[in-house]
A and B are shown apart, each in its own frame.
Chain A
Amino acid sequence: MKKLLLTGVALSALLAMAGSANAAYVLGMKGPGAGNPFWAAVEAGAKAKAAELGVEVIVVAPPAESDVQAQITQIEDLIAQKVDGIALAPTDPNALAPVVDAAKAAGIPVVFVDTRGTNEGVTFIGTNNEVGAALAAKYLCDNLAAGSEVAILQGLISQSTGQARADGSKKGLTDCGLKVVAEQTAEWDRAKGLSVTENILAGNPNIKGIFGSNDNMALGASEAVKAAARTDITIVGFDANPDAAAAILAGDMAATIAQAPANMGGFGIQALVDLKAGKTLEAWIDTGTVLVTKDNAADYK
């Protein structure tokens, strides 16, 4: 099915290019298999910018966020079609590095969005996840007594996003004197976030705060906390997806960190157009992070 899907993607990409004389830029995302409204916002941002600039945008994504192989194949096929630029969110930066090099060798400008790749000299457009995670840690520090026990639900540590959020939160939490008693991966997944939190609660009854490296895991954690009838646990997520915003308004989660996914898509397309026009870009274009609490959660629903 992967082959079929990819052929489909390639065909539709071809059609999209044949159908217009405009320059065609690719947005290579990790979703929709991510099951995450985040990617919908990235896509919308890119499409809005493309419409504004009068260029074509082709959106591709592997069926699941962990499907590195499918993403490599997609990008290879697009290079073969000589697209005008690729804004890529690499599922695995190391694994995607050779195809990014291949694209550059073929004269196709590349920028990374959302997740930084390993290739030298490729501009990264995205959140500083370490800063964002530190912002989440600061919220926990400000709202918990010094010395309180806290847990970190990590994403996939093999990805730079997962690594940066794990590092940033751990550093922030320990620096302000909170005690990190559990750090476990729940692989960005809601059901795993729930199970892992249940186990953490069983082993560490004094937990007062939980940082979920994404909202899906934080929402799973909030289910576990609710089931345990604990009301004294502060849960902070990351991504500010609509479900998390609703949970914050309902009091199930305390806060989350908003990235600006629409900026990633929009800045990504703009950067490709600039590169194509011969301009040079900064190495890192920060798209920014914001703390979302009860006060501003309604904006993210």
Chain B
Amino acid sequence: MSDTPATKSGFSLRGPGMSKFLEVYGIILVVVVMMLVLAVIKPEVFLSAQNLTNILKQNASLALLALGMYVVIVTAGIDLSVGSIMGLSMVCLAVASKAGVPWPIVLLIGPAIGLLVGWVNGVGLTVLKLPHPFIMTLGTLNVARGLTYLISNGAPISGLQPEVRFIGQAYFGFGMAPPAGIPASMLLVAVCAIGLWFFLEKTNMGRHIFAIGGNPHAARVSGINVDRTLVVVYMISGFMAGLSGLLLAGRTDSGFPNAGIGIELDAIAAVIIGGASFFGGRGTVLGVLAGVLIMGILRNGLNINNVSAFWQQILIGLVIIIAVYIDVLRRRAAVRR
């Protein structure tokens, strides 16, 4: 993102080299430190292949949601509907799977629903000119969740085709004892992350997305089709949420209507912890993945130490505040010099 005006203002610590390194990789250091601490407290459990596998597969669906949310937040927007899209996708694909629809089609249902709801979000925002994406996506959050209950009649739909479960459940053991290995879901996250990085960094539309986040008016004046770009942005977010529903349905062998309630807030938290600005125009794909890992490792570390789930929420809340405060301090220092 070094070519966007919004990030350039951030450099002027000792040397451009050092500050750039911290800007991009500082968050990775936090992940490493957390892992070291847990490795010292519970070496025999935390570093076991099984536990590391657990962290990857437990956070894969959140990672996809956060990647989608990141693109939206880069435009200074927000997408509250992703948790509901996830639930709707899961229930719809479970119904189709149970009805004997061929599995290649079932695989497409989640992402298709995501694209559709995302398109509705984008169109609502740009054509209806609703004042803030918060409103449009709050609407679709409720509509999609209501549809989820309607379609499922409030009950979970379990027992999916094995091919549908594959991406959410399979892992490649490479000779390790089960259930350790590289989860297929992680590979999907990697593909999506690399694809998104390429899209944002190397394509015109990707650069336009950053420009809109930095200054929508300037972007419009410079000839960027802001409305069309925003529709694409919300479709990306919806698509990721649909994919993420496919992962969770595969993992749990079930489309359950309560899936994903409140998870949009986790996705937003991961993006913010990962260093993206709520006011748009700034952030990195790597930072988002690190944000997801920070939340995931924190939860895992507390779980394997048998710490109550209530504490996990308190600590994640504090981490959000502290992570953003550190960012504020760093920027203030950068401006003074």
Contacts and interface: CB of A to CB of B under 8 A. Distances in A.
A228 B303 CA distance: 18
A275 interface: no
B5 interface: no
A168 interface: no
A33 B261 CA distance: 11
Interface string A19-55: 0000000000001111111011000000000000000
Contacts of A40: 153-155
A71 B251 CA distance: 32
Contacts of A37: 155
A35 B154 contact: yes
B51 interface: yes
B178 A199 contact: no
**Size range of the interface on A?**
35 or more
B304 A33 contact: no
Interface stretch (A88-96, A181-189, A253-261, A288-296): A181-189
Interface string B38-67: 000010010010110010011000000000
Interface string B141-176: 010011001001111101100000000010100000
A183 B307 CA distance: 10
Contacts of B45: 202-203
Contact of A228 (B50, B152, B159, B248): B50
B146 A203 contact: no
Interface residues of B, number: 39
B179 interface: yes
Contact of A1 (B42, B54, B146, B309): B146
Contact of A223 (B142, B149, B252): B252
B51 A202 contact: yes
A17 interface: no
Interface in A181-236: 182-185, 187, 189-191, 194-196, 198-199, 201-203, 216, 219-220, 223-224, 227-229
Contacts of A182: 306
B261 A34 contact: no
B251 A229 contact: no
Given A198-B58, A220-B252, A184 B259 contact: no
A36 B153 CA distance: 9
Nearest to B150: A32
A243 B157 CA distance: 9
B322 to A, nearest CB: 24
Contact of A191 (B145, B154, B259): B259
B154 A1 contact: no
Contact of B179 (A63, A184, A229): A229
Nearest to A67: B261
B169 A33 contact: no
Interface string B238-259: 0000000000100111101111
B54 A223 contact: no
Contacts of A64: 258, 261
B300 interface: yes
A189 B309 CA distance: 13
B111 to A, nearest CB: 20
B179 A228 contact: yes
A35 B156 contact: yes
Interface in B252-276: 252-254, 256-259, 261
A151 to B, nearest CB: 10
B197 to A, nearest CB: 28
A68 interface: no
Contacts of A220: 252
Contacts of A190: 156, 252, 254, 256
A36 B155 contact: yes
A196 B303 contact: yes
Given A190-B252, A191-B248, A32 B149 contact: yes
Interface in A78-137: none
A184 B258 contact: no
B54 A35 contact: no
A202 B154 contact: no
Contacts of B42: 203
Contacts of A224: 179
Nearest to A37: B155
B256 A32 contact: no
A290 B171 CA distance: 38
A246 interface: yes
A265 B109 CA distance: 37
A199 B179 contact: no
From A33, A196, A227, A229, residue with most partner B Cβ within 10 Å: A227
Nearest to A198: B54
A184 B309 contact: yes
Nearest to B306: A182
Contact of B58 (A32, A189, A195): A195
B54 A202 contact: yes
A40 B154 CA distance: 9
Contacts of A195: 54, 58, 303
A89 B155 CA distance: 18
A199 B303 contact: yes
A265 to B, nearest CB: 15
Given A35-B152, A199-B300, A246-B159, 13 more contacts: A34-B258, A35-B155, A35-B256, A35-B258, A64-B258, A65-B258, A184-B309, A185-B309, A195-B58, A198-B58, A219-B254, A228-B178, A229-B179
Those 5 A-B pairs whose CB atoms lie nearest each other, nearest first: A32-B154, A1-B142, A229-B178, A199-B303, A202-B51
9 contacts: A32-B154, A33-B149, A35-B154, A36-B154, A37-B155, A185-B309, A203-B51, A227-B171, A229-B179
